[in-house]
Amino acid sequence: MPSNIVVPEVGESIVDARVAKWLRKEGDLVAAGDPLVELETDKIDLEVAAPSAGVLQRIAHKDGADVKVGDVLGVIDTQGAGVPSEDARVPGAAVPGAEAKTRATPAARKVAEQSAVDLKSVKGSGDAGRVMRRDVEKAAGGEAAAAAPPPNAAKQEEVRKPAAPPLPPAPQRIPGERREERVRMSKRRATIAKRLLEVQSTAAMLTTFNEVDMTALQAMRARHKESFKERYGINLGMTAFFVKAVIGALRVFPRINAEIQGDEMVMKGYYDVGIAVGASEGLVVPVLRDADLMSFAEIESQTRAFARKAEDGTLSLADLKGGTFTITNGGVFGSLLSTPILNPPQVGILGLHAIKERPVALNGQVVVRPMMYTALTYDHRIVDGSEAVRFLVRVKELIEDPGALLLE
């Protein structure tokens, strides 16, 4: 009896997907629950498992095909050769010849393929022993270390010195050669491109800038970092301070926390702050829900969990859904100044940048201070320029006097 493998319903906002890679081929014996195929959507990647045991009889949509929710991806013959009948099966017994494939995230499989790491030899740290990207990277690093000859004492001193990463070898090219390669955009990258064009044509975007003296914040972090880590088991970063400062400013300027629906403004009395995270397939924005009710430790812990999940490709739709305002930090990549683009339907996004020591005038003297440029992009249709400027000034005031955050 055939059993169809269908594109599952992932969420209300996802109606189509792309077949990234089949993990099995036609004729393979599979057990119920075995991962069969990886799908890309505009928000998350996912694996589709075998609905029942049998033989993968037919693959209806091959790698690279675009599919919709409910489409039949392939067919399993549950009475195929080598598959015992339901009556003959012993409860809990494995299907003969159907060796369960290692459970791994799509990102982990990709890194394993690039690093020539056997997934079967990697111990998974994810739920139910699932192999994550970090597990493969750790295994690849371990193998490289094991294969390398032990350094002598003279070289050990050199290793301790920080060094710039080596440049990749330049590709060999014949003079006059014009080599080109066409690479299809991933589902997520194509959606990002589409949405960025849409927001630029539908929103009246404008950006205002300011700069923040990070001296007081850095001093506070230095005073409390050890006790904070000892108590909560995580480092005290900057994210929580800026999340709290943004919420304090949004309370004063509520239209920056709103959205436009037709000719109405939807004013929101809650604060779901999106934190932009860079991933291999493009930027994603997981959301801190009820961020105003979260402690510093909860914000830092959740933000780090989002970063890990983004790297492993395990962010869920629940992680990405909604959001009333977004914070993006190009400073982690070295950006000194940028103009962030709105994350629709939100009407405000705060861009953070690299902290650099610069000479500044203070009380009639020139002093060197750690400074950061901040940028607020807003939708001028409902946010006035004066509101945006004062919002950014309020964020600046709260960061330069972090103790005031306790009063917010």
Catalytic residue among 63, 118, 290, 384: 384
Q: How far apart are CA 228 and CA 24, in angstroms?
A: 48
Q: Which residues contact 85 (CB under 8 A, 6 or more apart)?
A: 79
Query: What does DSSP say about strands 348-352 and 325-329: parallel, antiparallel, or unpaired?
Result: parallel
Contact 117/123 with Cβ under 8 angstroms?
Answer: no
Total Cβ atoms within 10 A of residue 367: 12
Q: Which residues contact 175 (CB under 8 A, 6 or more apart)?
A: none
Q: How far apart are CA 313 and CA 319, in angstroms?
A: 12
Q: How far apart are CA 233 and CA 216, in angstroms?
A: 23
Residue 4 β-bridge partners: 75
| Short-list 234, 247, 241, 246, CA closest to 218 | 241
Place of tokens 């400062």: 245
Residue type, 168: P
Q: Which residues contact 352 (CB under 8 A, 6 or more apart)?
A: 238, 242, 327, 328, 329, 330, 331, 372, 374
DSSP codes, 229-258:
HHHHSS---SHHHHHHHHHHHHHHSGGGG-
Q: How far apart are CA 198 and CA 181, in angstroms?
A: 27
Residue 384 is among the residues annotated as catalytic for this protein: yes
Q: How far apart are CA 12 and CA 14, in angstroms?
A: 6
Residue 71 is among the residues annotated as catalytic for this protein: no
Structure tokens at 17: 């997907």
Residue type, 170: A
Catalytic residue among 118, 224, 290, 380: 380
**Does a cis peptide bond (omega within 30 degrees of 0) precede residue 345?**
yes
Query: In the 8-state DSSP scheme, what is residue 27?
Result: T
Catalytic positions, please? 380, 384
